[in-house]
Structure 1
Amino acid sequence: MVPPTTAIADVLQLRGLNGWLSPPLRRVHCRMGLLGRARTVQLAAGPGGDDLESLHVLFDDDLRDRVLVVAGAQAAAGAVWGEIHTRAALACRLAAVAVEGGVRDLNAFRDLDLPAWSLYEATAGAGPGVRVASVGAPVTVAGVRVDEGTLIAMDAAGVVAVPGPDVLDDSYAYAEAEEEVISALREGRPLKEAHRHKSQMTAKLRRAL
């Protein structure tokens, strides 16, 4: 089971960190929570751009349990990802994709069930003049550094880069405390009483820091 991205983001806030990529990324399609290791791609504008054909080399790899993080995709005139990429990615067993730019063919994400977040939907394709600047190097999305292999959590509420297993462990405990608050509210207890579960967990995490 994956802790909610909202819980992970709250734990990061308590630690004075920022790892959430949403916003600015917005949900395209994602039904269930998942964890995967980042496969990083940096796009850039510039002469010699090949309409992203060089991106095709990615699909020669086994991308099992990977989350493709495409940074700099807003440099393209339109969408850098669509149904063709979605089908190719699923054949390589890609777990999910996060695109800092435009995507299209949104029905394909839903019909083929590829979890995805992006900046926006676009009608036209990427167009010329955009290229793959690097694959596997560190990238930055929404001010968050994502390294090759960084753990990425994704669900219907958000997408977050997880800096380490200790954050993940604390997020499970934090999410459990929030569920206790909700259970208490369902039982008719007042919010002040119900919220003590979360308050205690927050205090515990702060003391640990």
Structure 2
Amino acid sequence: MTTSPAQLFSFPVPERLPATAALADVLQLHGRNGWLTPPLRPFQRGPAAPALGAARTIRMAPGPGSHGLGPLRALLGENLAGQVLVIAGADCVPGAVWGEILTTAALARGAVGALVEGSVRDVTALENLSLRIWASAEATAGPSTEIHVAEIGGQVEISGVSVADGDPVLLDDGGVVVLRPESAAGLLADAADYHQAEEQVLEALVSGLRLPLAYAPKAQVVTRLRGRKA
């Protein structure tokens, strides 16, 4: 069960996705935010190559609620091809809201990642599964009944970064970055240029060129991007 980024989004997606570090730098140059690492940290980095998925947002809230975690389990039975589960508000309880069972279910339905503002468990098992998982902390106990799903598909916020259902999310082994659909194409293209320039710098350094000269390709891209800062 696979879905390509071109099938998920209406904007043009670069054939070669940039690294999240390059995209985060470009966002800084444009005076924007969007990276979720930190505060989230890796529990399963996944493949090194970047993946672009669509956010599927879940907002958690304290207390048992009417249906507890039932809506989350129901969601994990749906088609999640190409989606990144974004769970916000799960830090209201000390227990883990994500673990091996939910990871296995998400993989079976085609998800490409899970971002959890809260704790996860079964970390050794998660390391042997291919779903990219970034979360706030690790916990041994489960969430008990003191947390519930308040909303699926709405707008959520993690550490000041707003995430809407369907927003593009770039993940790789270095981090997670969220974009807005209306600006994603231009930012991804700029980040691809930035990433390529950084690779040219590294190649020049390996060939023996000193950093002040080797850095020129990246300096040119940075100057160009600063010149049209949004």
Shorter-chain TM-score category? over 0.9
| Shift in alpha-carbon separation, 1:86–1:64, aligned structure 2, 3 A | same
Which amino acid in 2 is paired with 1:180?
Q
Correspondent of 1:25 among 40, 44, 69: 40
Match of 2:209 in 1: 189
Correspondent of 1:8 among 1, 6, 23: 23
Unaligned stretches of 5+ in structure 1? none
- Mapping for residues 52-201 of structure 1, pairs under 5 Å: 52-163=69-180, 164-201=184-221
Q: TM-score by structure 2 length?
A: 0.87
What is the aligned residue count? 209
Q: TM-score by structure 1 length?
A: 0.96
Residue 47 of structure 1: how far off its partner (Å): 4.7
Which amino acid in 2 is paired with 1:202?
V
Which amino acid in 2 is paired with 1:193?
L
Residue 37 of structure 1: how far off its partner (Å): 0.4
Runs of 4+ in structure 1 displaced over 4 angstroms?
Answer: none
Residue 18 of structure 1: how far off its partner (Å): 0.6
Provide Cα deviations, 1:53-111, integer angstroms capped at 9, x if missing partner: 33111023100000000001101231000111011111111111010110011122222
Aligned mates of 1:73, 1:36 — CA distance in 2: 21
Residue 42 of structure 1: how far off its partner (Å): 0.4
Aligned mates of 2:129, 2:144 — CA distance in 1: 25
